[in-house]
Amino acid sequence: MNGMYIAFAPLQGYTDAIYRRAHWECAGGATEYYTPFVRMEKGKPRKRDMRDIAPEACVGVPTVPQVIAKDGEEFARLCDAVQALGWKRIDLNMGCPFPMQTKSGRGCGLLQHPDRIEEIAREMQSRKEVIFSVKMRLGQETANEGLTAMSIINDMPLVHITLHPRLGIQQYKGTADKVAFGRFVEVSSWPMVYNGDLSELKVENGELRVDALNVKSPKIKGVMIGRGLLAQPWMLSKKEPQVVLREMHSKIYQHATEHLCGKSQVIARLHAFWEYVAIGHKQHKAIMKSMTLRRYDEAVATVFGRGN
């Protein structure tokens, strides 16, 4: 879309490799797809996360593996594991707002520990073969946390910084603070990517317009969209919404019924596809309440006019 960088944000439990491929092949329009973060579990990178970034699962799809770490040592171990799969591009999550991560000093919680960010910066600087980026928030409890961290982040070797202008303690409540985003743009040494509350993109006079993002700066590289694209997977496509939805659903339905074990897993995966999609309330309710494939197929038929 007019050369503007547009990233598809990761969301745990939704944007797995199957979903990313379905969107890339059926809708397209995104420059890159970020994976849900790879985390440590019982002293090792979590196996499920590693399967999701396996090269064979991502081949042909412009993918950026993301990691989440509490300090330099953990970051190094995750980078080692990701690089061992052949990746030379890694994104660091300093934006996850969920207490399970922030209380352990990961995600947004890392912004409260400048000493640990410095450890990670040194580790990045030692890995000259890797292209890094950072996804962050304003801070965990105050925007001063993020602004303080920026002096260290500016020394990291980055291709860009993605900023979601909310505090971690807000999670997804309230509205994204676009004025605060502008302050971070001013102090950043790196190109900036805006993330947060993007439900519509417009092109005016050949330029991509982000409604209400009243910041003009050559540092703004583009946008990252998450829930907005899950709700409208057709947003970046030239195809009709029904066509995109039908094609994506067909691929995910086929994979779920052929590769997942047990009807409950299949139904859970299919429900995840629809959870954010912008369709009629009654249609959505019927799909999400379906507990058998027969009921599910009947509910989906009301969206497409026939079965899957």
What residues does 128 pair with on adjacent strands? none
Q: Compare 1 and 205 and report the one with higher pLDDT.
A: 205
**Per-residue pLDDT tens over the stretch 282-307:** 999 999 999 999 999 999 999 997 64
**Per-residue pLDDT tens over the stretch 211-270:** 546 667 889 999 999 999 999 999 999 999 999 999 999 999 999 999 998 899 999 999
pLDDT of residue 124: 98
pLDDT of residue 2: 53
CA 49 – CA 299 distance, rounded (Å):
32
pLDDT of residue 307: 45
CA-wise closest residue to 65 among 44, 42, 86: 86
Q: Is 1's pLDDT higher than 50?
A: no
Q: How are beta strands 40-41 and 202-204 bridged, if at all?
A: unpaired
Q: Is 205's pLDDT higher than 80?
A: no
What is the mean predicted confidence (pLDDT) over 60-75? 98
**Per-residue pLDDT tens over the stretch 79-98:** 999 999 999 999 999 999 99
**Per-residue pLDDT tens over the stretch 33-56:** 999 999 999 999 999 999 999 999
**Per-residue pLDDT tens over the stretch 260-280:** 988 999 999 999 999 999 999
pLDDT of residue 117: 98
Structure tokens at 192: 């900036």
Considering the entire predicted model, what is its pTM? 0.94
pLDDT of residue 308: 47
Structure tokens at 110: 């890392």
Q: Compare 156 and 306 and report the one with higher pLDDT.
A: 156
Residue ranges in 188-292 assigned as alpha helix (H): 227-231, 241-259, 263-274, 281-289
Element counts in the chain: helices (H) and strands (E): 13, 13
